[in-house]
């Protein structure tokens, strides 16, 4: 990676994956002017933070409390990495390099999940990870997380960033850290139930970091209908100078929109029955963002520029409209250029756009995938149909991957491809060549996806409809969609299957166990069986704690539906080293089915995690294909 001034190059080697986002590696810096190799500037080693004030300065140890699986400095623990930060990063440089903010995660009281690592040794070993599950008697504590800031010129000067008073005596999360200037930092704090958030801006007074209330009142957000944000809360994007910022949050109509926040007061600057997805860049006179406003397509994406006078311009709506309905942009420092990524529904292409000279017209095509287009030109590819059903008062989107030469007078087998988790979106306009492509083109199977209640980017009313009731509406809607597809007239009602991975495996299992009679068979990869077995941040976001929602938890378990599996064919798949959805979940389903004398198939993957990577990835799709063809025979 090249530094902004192009003098230094950072090299990474000896990469070793830890969890979904985190990894360990060896780093080195190369000075292009002196041709010298240097050590890295800030790093975490054995859960402690080290800082170098310059590339040539010796490293200074900032913390000495790091302990494996107990105290994490500068890196998130498992649950923060997976559910809050979506990153393995736990320290942040200020813009000018004057300070480094870092987290301390104290997992001393957190219970551990343990699983066997078989490896190739004579005796297997045990992997142990601090993994907080939902608050369930006798209690499973969360990590205690604090934020500290160190002065890089004097690493003995370390100050804690104090939690806002309303949250100090209750369990809470550190949701995000955003530097404004070298002397100002914005921090979002979130209560454990995730319906109450405070965004606090702190300033440095020479010795401490205190709330900067002179120009920045804190922003307090409460949600009455569900959780805050889509997953974890959206991060603020500050205008140059840092006097105000933009934030994506729900407006009074329950749609996620762009808000301009000045001194703690948030004013919506976009509105309508659509949603802003991301803020891409804020400049002195404009803000750039992506949304799904254009064409009444929730699964589409376009890039917009909103000026100070609230004049809105779509930069991508007219760019190759048939090919490009799912667009994103990476803007240069001053937004004079952006990298346009057209990701579908046609074959993707990438171009560089000069906003000053050319507006939205591509200045340079970087990759148009002509070679790929030529390679598939002679292959009969499926066609993709996107449309809506009216269901439960909502206009809900579906996608059908139809075999080449599709004839609506014939009867085809149908596979429902489901995820179904909160804020999910399967009916989008991204170009895909996947297992569904193979099944439709080679095996003549229609593959369908459906975004029911609980899905995202269509307003809080739809998304929050499954709040405190996972395993209900999102499952019922997949069953209802299957019935709707049968009513179209070209689906063989005796050959209907469903499959999913992770949350999709959970929905698959709940649907098969519903006793609906719609599905012939199904395949569940790495499914949840009971939410009390899953991590605290994710589960409580949508279900609260069991003490506050006991009925919701009891109605959401796969194992309670075991007796209904007699009437379906079921394939259960899991990796034995799944650090996310533990093998315990599949073991519970298996035990419940055996107790009910249900005949089912199972496949486990030794020492494989949630992604079933490497050889297991191809194997699982081959195995599921064979299972599906036997089911439809």
Q: Helix, strand, or coil here: 589? A: helix
Backbone angles phi, psi at 536, to 5 degrees: -70, -45
List C-alpha distances in Å: 155 to 53, 72, 99, 560.
9, 18, 9, 56
Catalytic residue among 203, 502, 536, 556: 502
> In angstroms, how far is the first alpha carbon of the chain from the final one?
53
3-state helix, strand, coil in the chain (%, to 5): 20, 40, 45
Q: Measured between alpha carbons, how far is 52 from 527 in angstroms, rounded to an integer?
A: 44
Long-range contacts of 40-44 (CB under 8 A, 24+ apart): 40/10, 42/91, 42/93, 42/100, 44/73, 44/74, 44/75, 44/90, 44/91
CB atoms within 10 A of CB 430: 14
Backbone angles phi, psi at 537, to 5 degrees: -60, -50
Residue whose entry in the numeric block shows the structure tokens 């000053």 = 356
- The helix-helix angle for 473-487 and 503-512 (nearest 10°) equals 70
Annotated catalytic residue 610 = yes
Q: Residues 282, 295: contact at Cβ < 8 Å?
A: no
Locate all alpha helices (DSSP H) within 329-369, ordered by sequence: none
List C-alpha distances in Å: 292 to 323, 384, 428.
16, 20, 10
Q: Residues 530, 552: contact at Cβ < 8 Å?
A: no
Contact residues for 440 (Cβ-Cβ < 8 A; gap 6+): 382, 401, 402, 403, 404, 446, 447
Annotated catalytic residue 502 = yes
Residue 192: name the closest of 59, 275, 63, 84 by CA.
Answer: 84
Locate all alpha helices (DSSP H) within 446-472, ordered by sequence: 460-463
Residue 255: name the closest of 299, 282, 293, 310 by CA.
Answer: 293
Four-residue CA torsion sign, 471, 474, 478, 480: positive
Catalytic residue among 48, 578, 579, 609: 578
How many Cα atoms sit within 13 Å of 400 on the Cβ side? 23
Residue 144 DSSP label: E
SS3 string, 148-217, reads EEEECCEEEEEEEECCCHHHCCCCEEEEEEEEEECCEEEEEEEECCCCEEEEEEEEECCCCEEECCCCCC
Q: Measured between alpha carbons, how far is 196 from 601 in angstroms, rounded to an integer?
A: 44
List C-alpha distances in Å: 468 to 144, 253, 424, 435, 561.
25, 21, 17, 33, 19
Four-residue CA torsion sign, 525, 531, 532, 537: positive
Q: Which run of H or of E encompasses 504?
A: helix 503-512
Active site residues: 502, 578, 610
């Amino acid at each position: 990676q090249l530094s902004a001034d192009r003098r230094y190059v950072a090299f990474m080697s000896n990469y070793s994956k830890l969890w979904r986002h985190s990894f360990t590696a060896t780093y080195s810096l190369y000075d292009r002017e002196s041709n010298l190799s240097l050590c890295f500037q800030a790093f975490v080693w054995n859960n402690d933070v080290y800082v170098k004030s310059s590339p040539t300065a010796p490293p200074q140890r900032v913390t000495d409390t790091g302990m494996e699986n107990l105290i994490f400095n500068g890196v998130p623990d498992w649950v923060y990495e997976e559910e809050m930060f979506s990153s393995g990063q736990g320290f942040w440089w200020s813009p000018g390099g004057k300070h480094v903010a870092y987290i301390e995660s104290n997992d001393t009281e957190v219970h551990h999940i343990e699983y066997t690592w078989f490896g190739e040794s004579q005796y297997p070993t045990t992997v142990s990870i601090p993994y907080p599950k939902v608050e369930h008697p006798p209690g499973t504590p969360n990590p205690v997380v604090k934020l500290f800031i160190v002065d890089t010129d004097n690493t003995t000067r370390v100050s804690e960033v104090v939690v806002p008073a309303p949250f100090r005596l209750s369990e809470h999360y550190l949701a995000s850290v955003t530097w404004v200037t070298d002397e100002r930092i914005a921090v979002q704090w979130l209560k454990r139930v995730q319906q109450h958030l405070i965004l606090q801006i702190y300033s440095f007074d020479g010795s401490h970091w205190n709330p900067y209330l002179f120009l920045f009142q804190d922003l307090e957000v409460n949600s009455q209908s569900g959780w805050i944000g889509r997953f974890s809360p959206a991060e603020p994007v500050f205008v140059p100078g840092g006097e105000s910022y933009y934030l994506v949050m729900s407006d009074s109509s329950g749609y996620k929109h762009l808000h301009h926040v000045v001194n703690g007061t948030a004013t919506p600057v976009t509105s309508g029955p659509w949603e802003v997805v991301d803020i891409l860049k804020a400049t002195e006179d404009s803000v750039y963002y992506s949304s799904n406003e254009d064409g009444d397509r929730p699964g589409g994406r376009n890039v917009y520029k909103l000026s100070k006078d609230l004049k809105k311009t779509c930069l991508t709506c007219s760019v190759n409209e048939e090919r490009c309905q799912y667009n994103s942009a990476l803007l240069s420092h001053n937004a004079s250029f952006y990298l346009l990524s057209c990701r579908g529904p046609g074959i993707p292409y990438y171009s560089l756009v000069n906003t000053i000279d050319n507006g939205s017209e591509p200045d340079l095509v970087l990759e148009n995938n002509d070679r790929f287009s030529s390679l598939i030109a002679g292959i009969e590819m499926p066609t993709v149909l996107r449309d809506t059903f009216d269901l439960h008062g909502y206009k809900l989107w579906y996608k059908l991957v139809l075999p080449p030469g599709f004839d609506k007078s014939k009867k085809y087998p149908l596979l429902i491809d489901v995820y179904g988790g909160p804020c999910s979106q399967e009916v989008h306009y991204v170009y895909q060549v996947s297992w569904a492509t193979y099944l439709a083109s080679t095996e003549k199977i229609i593959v369908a996806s459906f975004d029911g209640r609980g899905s995202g980017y269509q307003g809080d009313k739809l998304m929050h409809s499954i709040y405190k009731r996972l395993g209900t509406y999102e499952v019922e809607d997949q069953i209802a969609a299957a019935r709707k597809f049968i009513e179209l007239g070209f689906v063989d009602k005796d050959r209907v299957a469903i499959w999913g991975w992770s949350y999709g495996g959970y929905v698959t299992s709940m649907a098969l166990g519903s006793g609906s009679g719609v599905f012939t068979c199904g395949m569940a990869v790495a499914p949840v069986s009971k939410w009390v077995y899953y991590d605290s941040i994710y589960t409580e976001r949508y279900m609260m704690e069991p003490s506050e929602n006991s009925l919701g938890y009891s109605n959401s378990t796969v194992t309670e539906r075991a007796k209904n599996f007699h009437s379906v064919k079921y394939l259960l798949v899991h990796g034995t080293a799944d650090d996310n959805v533990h093998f315990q979940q599949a073991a519970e389903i298996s035990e419940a089915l055996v107790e009910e004398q249900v005949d089912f198939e199972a496949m486990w993957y030794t020492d494989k995690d949630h992604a079933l990577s490497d050889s297991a990835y191809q194997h699982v799709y081959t195995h599921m294909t064979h299972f599906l063809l036997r089911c439809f025979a």
